[in-house]
Each structure stands twice: as C-alpha cells, then as structure tokens.
C-alpha cells in the first residue's frame, strides 16, 4: 500500500521536523498537533480544501476510509476544516460497507475514501453493492499525478474505467475549476429517484493546486417529489377493482419513501395480503393479519402459494435485483402494477400492466382515496400461510439439542431483541433462515443485502449503523465464513467505542454452498475449513468473547450483550445445518391444506 513507500515516510519525517522546530525539541509531535490551531493563516486554500468545503455543504458528517500518500492533501484539508469526522478503518472494503450501512439508515449519502491503485480497487465491492441495492454512496479516490496517468506507472490503474460500470457516474477532477460542479453532480446523482453510487477521483497534483479565488460550493437543490397523474390513479383503481385475487409485493423502496403507514392502510382497506422481499423486511409488520412474510427463497416457499393464486401483483418499491420475478410469475400471466420512483426493470416475467413512477407515499395516499370511493375490498384467505410460518418459527423453541437447530437460533435471537433493535443479516445459509423466520415489525430493523448478496458486510456495516444510531446497540448476524472476511474491523469498532453484538453461526463451512451442492448432486466438496478460537480472537482486539455451550445459553448471552454498557461482543454459536436439506425437501413436497 502507498502508506509504506519511501516517499510517504520522507514527507512524514519532514512534517515531524517542522513540528519540532516550531514547538520545541522537548514537545512531542502529537502534543504539538493538539496545541496548534486547525487553520493555518499562511495556508493558501487549495483544491482539497475546496473539495472539503463542498462536502460540508452537502451535509456530510462522517467519512470512512484509509489514508494514503496520494490523499494526504485531502486528509490535511479535513483536519484544517474540522467539520467532518474521519473514521480510519482497517480495510477499504470495511470503509465502504460502513458508509453503505450509514447511508441505508440515515437516507443521506454515505462517503468513503481510498487512495489510488490497490486502495481504490478494494472499494469496488461495497461500491457495487450500494449501486445494486439503490443506496446513495459517494466514493472518493485519490489518483497519481496527471502527468503520469496516461502511461504504465507505479500503482496507476484506470479508475474511471474500473468504477464506471458499477456506479451511476464516475468522474476524475482534472482542473481546479471543475471541483464544485463535480462534487455537486456526484451527490445529486447519488440521490436521484433511484439512489445509487457515484465515484469522484482526485489526482494528487490537482489536489494541491490553488483553488480558484471565487470558487464556492454549489447549493444543494431542493428535492422535488413527483406526484402521480389523476389518470394513473384512476387506471390503477380500475385494474384493482376488476381483480379477483390481488396481492401486494413490497420492496425496500417503501422504507426509502417512509411509506410503510400508507402500505398498511392500503392492505387493510382492500383486505389484501402483503409479502415483502428480503430487503423489504419490516415495511409491513409480521404481526399484521395480512402479513405473508418474505419471498426470495431458493425453493417454492409458503408465500409462493399466494402468488400462484393471484391474478394481480401490486408491486410497491420493488426492483428485480431483490429477487427473480420468475418465482412469483412463472407463466407471465399476471397483471402487474409497478409503483416506484423509477421505471420498472426489464424482465420477461415482470411485464407490467401499469407503471406509476412517482413518490410512493403520495401515490398510495391518492390510490387509497380512489379505492375508498369505489368501496373495493376482497376476501383474504391466506391465514394458512401465516399459520405455517408461525408453526415453523416456533417448531424448535424447546429443542435442547446442541449444536443448535437454526430454528431455535432464530427464535431465541428474536426474543432477545426489542422491536426497534437493528439486526444486520449477512449472506449465507443463515440468511435463508433469518429472512424466512425472523419476525420483523418496523422498517430498517432487519437489514439484508439480497441485491449483490455480499459476504462479510455486516461486521463493518454494524460500525456504520452504530454511528447512524448514535451508540444504540446493533446486532450483526454472520456465518463463520463471512465473519473471517472482515473481522479486522473489530479493532475499528472497539476504538470508536461502538456498542455492537456479533452473533457468529458456527459450522466450519461455507454453509449455503454446501446446501446447494447437496441439493445439486447429493454431496459437497471443498467447502469446509477450520476456525480460530473466537473468544480469544475477540479478546485480542479488546472485545468481549463468548462461546455458546448449550441451547439455553444463547438467549441470555445476546440479552446481556445488548443490555451491556457498550462494548463490542462476539458470540460464537455452533449450529446444526442438517436442517437445511430437511427444509428444502419439505418445501419441495409442500401442498397447502384446503
């Protein structure tokens, strides 16, 4: 990495000498830095300073990242300004996932920083994840001097070409005059009606050039919400009124639009069942009589029977990245009303009858009024599906076998958390169990990535969530495979004083791939591994470690960690994944009664 080359050490040594010369040979560099004013009155504002001013204007409060030689001018500008908190992480991937989760919970663009070459390349995964899941994120990357980016040169990668396919917009600042417009455009595009990731690249020599004397950050534009036309509302009401068995499919766009209340009113008024995507969990309370749970499992699950019977799907805040529509519309014979802030995605099994591209909350409000005037209501007969879900959720609540059954782990995890506690669920076999069975009652309290389905995001994500929730406890649920991918960010969490509980489902294998291999050909290969001592590992970082030793041990361990006076807690729980094949076998033979 660029932090370790000789040029950086020379520059740091020079700065240390300068500090000693000014403040006395007996004074340490750290003490001198603490006593000097942030602003240097002799410093001429440069491009990096102007860039930081633009970030402040955009409302940025925190940036996650790793410093490198080429972004030293930017780091210094952050320190001079003093308005934005910079969180040093242990890996750029961790920085990106922290920014992504911070954005998910706050609704504001998350910002992450990397240096050139390998540092920037490490950001590509979380940037692509944010772009796929419609999360606003702005990645800031350093680059080598303009004089050498055209040729093969040390650590030079064509970053514009790298990031362009995985962002809405990527641009490199090539002149001081371009700073304010580039920064405004980067944030504006990240926050459009379909949120996404953008990337802004700053060469090191441009960063140190003087900023134009008259350059000031551009004002943020007011967000104008598009309202549906009366014709749209009438057309939707007509289609719904003529349906026999409508069903609502709710995606994560509902939570972005804060439209969960109107979703509930619409369901109750029509008496229509609601299923959510994995990413939409919580936008419709699982306590509600019309709740069907989630769709998106790899087999024909309980909720799919409701879609089999439906002749109309009212898709609200849905995008096809969240799961393949063929699972709910295999014959492409259902009418679909698409309600979202952006146009429907192209898919042979998601051919829409009507598109309403407008503010979701406003659209639902007007649709509710139109349907009320028509007195439209339906007979909902999906209680059997709810009964099956409830039965499975409780099926192992008294099972004392150890390693624990997945159903018991989910049941005890739910009982240990309050309704408003946030659980981040990683990718793996555990995601299937948590998504299907973990009852969720409020938006953004069970966060799952089912767009890019990235492993290892929840541990750094919990750091971002902790900052977004201002220290309230956050639960990260991970498999042992995903835990080891970014476990170094435990140090970041401890250093920041985060209150995080990391629940590791331990099976010493890539469990989801083992599951799929067993389904595919009856056996599995090359998916097993060994683990470290998780308790000692946690303690080596300054965190608290706990190994679950019996089925009755898990719930008290989670409760104690969540109610503790802060701290990072790692709870390792051995899990019996032999239930996986039993589940898919059961669902493959499932027929609903009646």
Looking at per-residue pLDDT, the higher value among 35 and 430 belongs to 430
Strands (E), 121-224: 137-143, 169-172, 197-203
Q: Residue 387 above 50 pLDDT?
A: yes
For 159-195, b/e burial (b = at least 16 CB within 10 A) is: beebbeebbbbbbbbeebebbbebbbbbbbbbbebbb
HSE-CB for 99 with a 13 A CA cutoff: 41
Give the residue among 415, 403, 408 at the shortest CA–CA distance from 549: 403
Arithmetic mean of pLDDT, 410-438? 96
* pLDDT average, residue stretch 454-471: 96
Give pLDDT, residue 587.
77
Axis-axis angle for helices 429-437, 511-521 (nearest 10): 90
What local confidence, expressed as pLDDT, does residue 494 receive? 98
Tell me the backbone φ, ψ of residue 60, rounded to 5 degrees. -70, 130
pLDDT at 178: 97
* pLDDT per position as a tens digit, 296-332: 886 678 888 889 999 999 999 999 988 889 989 999 9
Residue 276 β-bridge partners: 250, 294
Task: Assess whether pLDDT exceeds 70 at residue 462.
Answer: yes
**Structure confidence by residue, pLDDT tens digits, 513-526:** 887 888 778 888 88
| pLDDT category of residue 18 using cuts at 50, 70 and 90 | very low
pLDDT at 82 over 60: yes
Q: Is pLDDT of 27 > 80?
A: no
Query: What spatial distance separates the first Cα and last Cα of the chain, rounded to whole Å?
Result: 64
Residues of the chain with CATH 3.40.50.1220: 230-381
Could you tell me the pLDDT band of residue 142, with boundaries at 50, 70 and 90? very high
% of the chain at pLDDT higher than 90: 76
pLDDT digits (tens, 9 = 90+) for 575-584: 999 888 888 8
Residue 4 has pLDDT above 80, yes or no: no
Instruction: Provide the pLDDT confidence category of residue 36 given band limits of 50, 70 and 90.
Output: very low
Tell me which of 146 and 297 has the higher pLDDT: 146
Instruction: Answer whether 410's CB lies under 8 Å from 434's CB.
Output: yes
Q: Which H helix or E strand runs over 553? A: none
The residues facing 141 across adjacent strands are: 114, 201
Q: Is 78 helix (H, G, I), strand (E, B) or coil?
A: helix
The pLDDT value recorded for residue 382 is: 66
CATH 3.30.360.10 is held by the domain 395-586: no
In this structure, is the dihedral angle defined by the CA atoms of residues 282, 284, 288 and 289, taken in order, positive or negative?
Answer: negative
pLDDT for residue 385 is more than 90: no
Q: How many CB atoms within 10 Å of residue 267?
A: 22
d(CA 177, CA 30): 35
- Which tokens in the block code for residue 183? 């920064």
C-alpha–C-alpha distance, residues 541 and 490, integer Å: 7
The pLDDT assigned to 591 comes to 62
Whether residue 68 is predicted with pLDDT greater than 60 in this model: the reply is: yes
pLDDT for 469-510, tens place per residue? 998 999 999 999 999 999 999 999 999 999 999 999 999 888
Grouping H, G, I as helix, E, B as strand and the rest as coil, residue 353 is coil
Cβ-Cβ contacts under 8 Å for 149 (sequence gap 6 or more):
143, 156, 158, 203
For the chain, give the percent of residues with pLDDT over 70: 91
Query: What integer pLDDT is reported at residue 34 of this predicted model?
Result: 34
Beta bridge partners of 503: 477, 571
Give residue 314's pLDDT. Answer: 98
* pLDDT of amino acid 296: 82
According to CATH, the superfamily of the domain at 230-381 is TPP-binding domain (3.40.50.1220)
Ordered DSSP codes for 442-482 = STTSEEE--SS--TT-HHHHHHHHHHHTTT--EEEEEEHHH
What does the pLDDT look like over 166-217, one tens digit per residue?
A: 999 999 999 999 999 999 999 999 998 899 999 999 999 999 999 999 999 9
CATH of 37-207, one of 3.40.109.10, 3.40.50.970, 3.30.70.100, 3.40.225.10: 3.40.50.970
- Measured CA to CA in angstroms, residue 41 lies from 14, 80, 92, 505 at distances of 20, 11, 33, 55
pLDDT confidence band for 585 (50 / 70 / 90): confident
Q: Is the pLDDT of residue 10 over 80?
A: no
Q: What is the pLDDT of residue 351?
A: 94
Instruction: Report pLDDT for 49.
Output: 98
Helix (H, G, I), strand (E, B) or coil at 144: coil
pLDDT at 526: 83
The residue count of the chain comes to: 594
What pLDDT score does 151 carry? 83
Which is it for the CA torsion 118, 10, 210, 66, positive or negative? positive
- Whether the predicted model's global pTM rises above the 0.85 cut: yes
Copy the structure tokens of residue 34: 């603490």
The neighbour count for residue 269, using CB atoms within 10 Å, is: 16
Which residue spans of the chain are classified as CATH 3.40.50.970?
37-207, 395-586
Please tell me the predicted confidence (pLDDT) of residue 12. Answer: 39
Q: Is the pLDDT of residue 31 over 50?
A: no
Query: CA-based angle 339:341:342, to the nearest 5?
Result: 95
| pLDDT the model gives residue 299 | 66
The pLDDT of residue 16 is: 38
567 CB neighbour count, 10 Å cutoff: 17
Task: Identify the residue with better confidence: 11 or 432.
Answer: 432
Nearest in space to 95 (alpha carbons), one of 467, 483, 489 = 489
Q: Are strands 169-172 and 197-203 parallel, antiparallel or unpaired?
A: parallel
- Pairing status of strand 474-479 against strand 544-547: unpaired
Mean pLDDT of 158-173: 97
The strand pairing partners of 21, in sequence order, are none
pLDDT at 449: 94
Nearest by Cα to 79 from 115, 112, 36: 36
Least confident of 190-204, 285-299, 456-470: 285-299
Q: What's the pLDDT band for 592 if we cut at 50, 70, 90?
A: low
Whole-number average pLDDT of the chain: 90
- Residue 64's pLDDT is what? 98
pLDDT reading at 17 higher than 80? no
- pLDDT tens, position by position, 224-234: 779 999 999 99
The pLDDT, as a whole number, for residue 590 is 62
């Amino acid at each position: 990495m660029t932090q370790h080359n000789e040029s950086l050490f020379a520059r740091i040594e020079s700065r240390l000498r300068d500090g000693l010369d000014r403040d006395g040979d007996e004074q340490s560099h750290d003490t001198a830095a603490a006593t000097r004013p942030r602003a240097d009155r002799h410093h001429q504002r440069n491009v990096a300073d102007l860039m930081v001013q633009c970030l402040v204007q955009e409302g940025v409060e925190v940036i996650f990242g790793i410093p490198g030689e080429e972004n030293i001018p930017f780091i210094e500008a952050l320190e001079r300004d003093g308005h934005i908190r910079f969180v040093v992480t242990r890996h750029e991937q961790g920085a990106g996932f922290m920014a992504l989760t911070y954005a998910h919970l706050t609704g504001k663009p998350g910002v992450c920083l990397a240096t050139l070459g390998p540092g920037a390349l490490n950001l590509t995964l979380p940037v692509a994840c944010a772009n796929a899941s419609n999360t606003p994120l702005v990645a800031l990357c350093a680059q080598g001097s303009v004089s050498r980016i055209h040729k093969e040169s040390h650590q030079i990668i064509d970053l514009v070409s790298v990031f362009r396919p995985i962002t809405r917009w990527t641009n490199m600042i090539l002149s001081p005059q371009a700073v304010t417009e580039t920064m405004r455009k980067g944030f504006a595009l990240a926050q459009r009606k379909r949120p996404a990731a953008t990337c802004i690249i700053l060469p090191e020599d441009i960063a140190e050039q003087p900023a134009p004397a008259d350059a000031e950050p551009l004002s943020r534009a007011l967000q104008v919400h598009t309202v549906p036309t009366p014709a749209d509302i009438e057309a939707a009401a007509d289609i719904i009124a003529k349906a026999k068995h409508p069903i609502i499919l709710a995606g994560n766009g509902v939570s972005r639009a804060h439209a969960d209340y109107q979703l509930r009113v619409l369901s109750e008024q029509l008496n229509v069942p609601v299923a959510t995507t994995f990413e939409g969990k919580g936008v419709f309370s699982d306590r509600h009589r019309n709740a069907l749970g989630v769709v998106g499992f790899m087999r024909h699950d309980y909720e799919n029977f409701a879609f089999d019977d439906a002749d109309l799907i009212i898709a609200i805040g849905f995008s096809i990245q969240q799961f393949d529509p063929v699972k709910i519309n295999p014959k492409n014979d259902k009418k679909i009303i698409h309600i979202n802030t952006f146009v429907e995605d192209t898919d042979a099994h998601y051919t829409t009858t009507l598109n309403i591209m407008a503010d979701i909350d406003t659209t639902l409000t007007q649709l509710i009024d139109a349907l009320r005037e028509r007195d439209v209501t339906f007979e909902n007969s999906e209680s059997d599906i709810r009964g099956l879900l409830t039965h499975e959720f409780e099926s192992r609540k008294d099972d004392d076998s150890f390693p624990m059954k997945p159903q018991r782990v989910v049941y005890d995890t739910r009982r240990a958390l309050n309704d408003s506690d946030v659980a981040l669920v990683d990718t793996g076999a555990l995601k299937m169990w948590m998504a299907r069975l973990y009852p969720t009652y409020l938006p953004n309290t069970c966060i799952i990535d089912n767009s890019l389905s990235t492993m290892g995001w929840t541990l750094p994500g919990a750091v971002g969530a902790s900052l977004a929730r201002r220290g309230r406890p956050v639960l990260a649920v991970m498999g042992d495979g995903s835990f080891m991918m970014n476990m170094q960010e435990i140090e970041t969490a401890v250093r920041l004083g985060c209150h995080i509980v990391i629940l590791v489902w331990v099976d010493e294998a890539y469990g989801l791939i083992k599951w799929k291999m067993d389904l595919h050909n009856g056996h599995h290969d090359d998916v097993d591994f060994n683990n470290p001592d998780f308790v000692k590992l946690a303690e080596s970082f300054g965190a608290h470690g706990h190994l679950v030793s019996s089925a009755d041990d898990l719930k008290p361990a989670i409760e104690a960690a969540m109610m503790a006076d802060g701290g990072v807690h790692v709870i390792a729980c051995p899990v019996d994944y032999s239930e996986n094949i039993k589940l898919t076998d059961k669902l493959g033979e499932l027929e609903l009664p009646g």
